[in-house]
Amino acid sequence: MFEHIVQMGPILVLAGLIAGWVAEAASRAGGYGFIFDMVFGLVGSVVGGAIVWVFISSDTGMLAMLVIGCVGAALAIAAQRRLWRSASTRSAWGGGTNPSTVSP
């Protein structure tokens, strides 16, 4: 088990960092910063790889683990952007108040 973690851990880290970098490069204008994208990509990759390794199969290859890590990272980054965007929109409008109905 330890040998498998030592082999697949760097692949998951690499997948998360690559996905974070791609997310930042693809949305330069609307991103939340290089560090946030890298951190969320790394966390999503490791969590996604761990879920697959524990629940589905512990006998996955390196290429499959790279793809799984990229998918997990992409899901984590997409979820983070959706949650932060909706939270910032609500707070900018005063907790859900429509700015067009507020009198000056």
pLDDT of 22 strictly over 60: yes
Q: Specify the pLDDT at position 42.
A: 92
Residue type, 6: V
Cα–Cα distance for residue pair 89/2, rounded to 1 Å: 45
For residues 93-99, give the mean pLDDT: 50
Q: Please give the structure tokens belonging to residue 63.
A: 């290429």
Count Cα atoms within 13 angstroms, Cβ side, for 49: 30
pLDDT of 95 strictly over 80: no
Cα–Cα distance for residue pair 34/13, rounded to 1 Å: 16
Cα–Cα distance for residue pair 42/45, rounded to 1 Å: 5
Cα–Cα distance for residue pair 85/91, rounded to 1 Å: 10
Cα–Cα distance for residue pair 27/42, rounded to 1 Å: 18
pLDDT of 35 strictly over 60: yes
